[in-house]
Amino acid sequence: MRTDVCKTFGIEFPLFAFSHCRDVVAAVTNAGGLGVLGAVAFSPEHLDEELRWIDDHVGGRPYGVDVLVPGKIAKEAEGTGDLLSAIPARHWEFLAGIFERYGVPVPDLDPARGRGAGRQVTKEGATELIDVALNHPIRLIASALGPPPPVMVERARAAGVPVAALVGTVDHALRQVAAGADLIVAQGSEAGGHTGEISTMVLVPEVVDAVAPLPVLAAGGIAGGRQMAAAMALGAQGVWCGSVWLTTEEAETLPAVKAKMLAATSSDTVRSRSRTGKPARQLRSSWTEEWDESPDSPGALPMPLQMIVAEGAMQPIGKAAENGNEGARRLANYFVGQVVGQMNAVKPARQVVYDMIEEFTGALERLAAITED
């Protein structure tokens, strides 16, 4: 393919694959796309280890890193050396009650379990990850929340690495451009993870027009070649996919959660603050119901405080689910978009790439046939 992003990044297909799993990133890059490693769950040391592994497995082919840098964090957490002190006791008590109600062995609930996830989305934590990423031969660095901070843009520019930024509205896109982004990812509400309320079909052409001539990738609701063709028809120069990799052979997804995804329909997701403190699309589960619908819920805390509470809890819940605990299986979930309804088979990530491109080609041929005399 000959889109500008293919030329810029030296890739065969304008397909960017966001994943927290290094194996998926390497597989997609080696298949002709561009894998992007989500770094929010990693400490600087762990990220360095993961990137060294990718370096050894992609043979110099291009890949990127995504860092979650929110424009705002909880006021309670600003300037404090210990985020844990900002979490009210009633949230820990509610969490303990969830374990008891679902018959899941109550762990120590050591707040330190989620400490890393919370620190990574502070200015200091994100800056550490940016520095680690730019010490590797990455070809792209992405800001997942809010405009890329000056430190990201300055250090990326010095390293010759383009900066991408995810947006959910035209206003967000214009702010990202003003902040120095080189590539805009227009992510519709169908997407998994942090997302806004405007659908991909509406958002992409608005953003394309607003930021031209900057290149735009379409994200949200894209798991097949027909959706990829639609995105390109809307003016995008490529696509950014995340959810579709979660049921691949290489995915980091827990088996119990992967089974739920394979059985899910497109109606089985919800935008909820229960995992991070910001609206993020994920599998609907007893976890989201407890935090969002229970009359006893204290409500989700702002980011990154809710991340500390939730991610620390999800580790023992996941372990219990894998051991066959039914209550834990009901609670377990993960970030995923509405395309989960299409994700009904386990395939190697490389095969997903090839299937998507084959379907894309078929879609273009059908469209060409319509215009023939």
- Which sign, positive or negative, has the C-alpha torsion 40, 42, 44, 46? negative
- Can you give the pTM of this predicted structure? 0.92
Q: What is the mean pLDDT of the chain?
A: 92
The angle that helices 44-57 and 22-30 make with each other, rounded to 10 degrees, is 30
Beta bridge partners of residue 248, listed in sequence order: 347
172, two tokens? 């967000």
Beta bridge partners of residue 18, listed in sequence order: 36
**Residue ranges in 165-249 assigned as alpha helix (H):** 170-179, 200-211, 225-233
134, two tokens? 């730019």
List, for residues 201-216, the tens digit of each pLDDT value: 999 999 999 999 999 9
CATH architecture type of domain 1-73+121-250+343-373: Alpha-Beta Barrel (3.20)
The per-residue b/e assignment along 140-164, b for 16 or more CB within 10 angstroms, e otherwise, is bbbbbbbbbbeebbebbeeeebbbb
Ordered by start, the domain boundaries in the chain are 1-73+121-250+343-373, 83-118+253-342
**3-state SS class at 335:** strand
List, for residues 176-194, the tens digit of each pLDDT value: 999 999 999 999 999 999 9
Q: Give pLDDT tens digits along the chain (373 positions).
A: 889 999 999 999 999 999 999 999 999 999 999 999 999 889 999 999 999 999 999 999 999 999 987 655 444 444 444 677 889 999 999 999 999 999 999 887 655 544 444 455 566 778 899 999 999 999 999 998 778 888 899 999 999 999 999 999 999 999 999 999 999 999 999 999 999 999 999 999 999 999 999 999 999 999 999 999 999 999 999 999 999 999 999 999 999 999 999 999 999 999 999 999 999 999 999 999 999 999 999 999 998 899 999 988 999 999 999 999 999 999 999 999 999 999 999 999 999 999 999 999 999 999 999 987 6
